[in-house]
């Protein structure tokens, strides 16, 4: 079961998890990651975020990422849901959920997907704070996190 969604509305983690499993009993492990909006980044007082993306390319990148994870860790289910539009601190931004036979593969696959998503999927964040609006810059730590998944 593969779910890829770009949406403005929130998501229901419980519903996504049960759709991932679909009653199967061979999937012994499920790991999900939820990213949320913080009220600080490089500077304090972030009041809101606006997320922009490249429609068409975003879905294609996430779809390929999901397929790669399924093949590499033999996943039985994968879901990637990313929100766009204006979000407030505390709002959920992204959900990555995977299900497979064993926990180690599930943890790794989930981390792989979110690490790669952060450096490959065409999303951009703009922060709104008391000091004005600012486009969020890339983080070296995100690039390194993504690069360590390169298969040698």
Q: Which residues have CB under 8 Å from 124's CB, separation 6+?
A: 51, 52, 53, 135, 136
54, 63, 104, 131: which one contacts other proteins (CB under 8 A)? 54
Beta strands of 8-142 (E only): which ranges?
Answer: 29-36, 46-53, 77-83, 85-87, 92-100, 123-129, 132-135
Measured distance CA(133)–CA(127) in Å, rounded: 6
Q: Residue 116 is encoded by which pair of tokens?
A: 């790669």
**Which of these ranges, 23-31, 56-64, 67-75, 102-110, lies near other proteins under the rule CB under 8 A?**
56-64
**Which of these ranges, 16-24, 67-75, 97-105, 134-142, lies near other proteins under the rule CB under 8 A?**
134-142
Q: Which residues have CB under 8 Å from 152's CB, separation 6+?
A: none
Select 75 or 93, whichever has its Cβ closest to other proteins: 93
- Tell me the site size for other proteins, rule CB under 8 A: 30
Here's the x/- map for other proteins, 104-133, by CB under 8 A: it reads as: ----------x--xxxxxxxxxx------x
Here's the x/- map for other proteins, 18-37, by CB under 8 A: it reads as: -----------------x--
Minimal distance, residue 47 CB to other proteins, in Å: 12
93, 97, 106, 110: which one contacts other proteins (CB under 8 A)? 93
Q: Residue 3 is encoded by which pair of tokens?
A: 């779910």
Selection from 87, 95, 97 nearest residue 29 by Cα: 97
Q: Which residues bind other proteins (CB under 8 A)?
A: 35, 50-57, 60, 82, 93-94, 114, 117-126, 133, 135-138, 142
């Amino acid at each position: 079961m593969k779910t890829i969604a770009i949406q403005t509305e929130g998501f229901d983690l419980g519903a996504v998890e049960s759709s991932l499993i679909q009653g199967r009993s061979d999937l012994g492990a499920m790991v999900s990651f939820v990213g949320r909006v913080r009220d600080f980044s490089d500077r304090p007082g972030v009041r809101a975020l606006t997320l922009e993306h490249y429609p068409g390319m975003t879905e294609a990148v996430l779809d390929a990422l999901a397929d790669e994870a399924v093949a590499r860790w033999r996943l039985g289910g994968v879901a990637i849901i990313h929100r766009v539009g204006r979000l407030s601190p505390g709002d959920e931004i992204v959900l990555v959920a995977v299900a497979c036979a064993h926990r180690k593969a599930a943890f790794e696959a989930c981390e792989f997907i979110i690490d790669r998503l952060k450096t490959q999927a065409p999303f951009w964040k703009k922060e709104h704070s008391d000091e004005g609006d600012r486009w969020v810059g890339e983080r070296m730590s995100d690039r390194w996190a993504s690069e360590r998944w390169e298969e040698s």
